Amino acid sequence: MDRQNQLTHRQPAASQLDIDHVDAFWRSKRVIVTGGSGFLGSYVVSKLWKRGAAEVITPRRREYDLRHLDAIRQLLRDTSAAGRPVDMVIHLAANVGGIGANR
């Protein structure tokens, strides 16, 4: 292996088989996405729907303040009340202050 190849690591191109495998993983899943209405969360939510998730739950702070353990427990109870617990939680919620907040 020459020096250039040792320094350059390339990700192999995703094949259709890889994409089908990912789609199959999410198919029929019930997923909670905290921060699902935010910049990153809304993208993740749209991808979950496209990949065949059965249900994507995006809790709002006014309903479930996830800074408190009791609210987290209530969210899990409420989402399991349909007779089937959620399969996955993707946590993307954060306190943000808009553009320039991190200066």
As a whole number of angstroms, the distance between CA 90 and CA 50 comes to: 16
pLDDT confidence of residue 10: 60
pLDDT confidence of residue 102: 59
**CA-atom Rg of the chain in angstroms:** 19
Neighbours of 63 (CB within 10 A): 10
Over residues 84-95, the pLDDT tens digits come to: 899 999 999 988
Neighbours of 77 (CB within 10 A): 10
Handedness of CA 20, 21, 24, 29 (dihedral sign): negative
Predicted model pTM: 0.73
Over residues 13-61, the pLDDT tens digits come to: 656 557 677 788 899 999 999 999 998 999 999 999 999 999 999 998 8
pLDDT confidence of residue 20: 72
| DSSP state at residue 55 | E
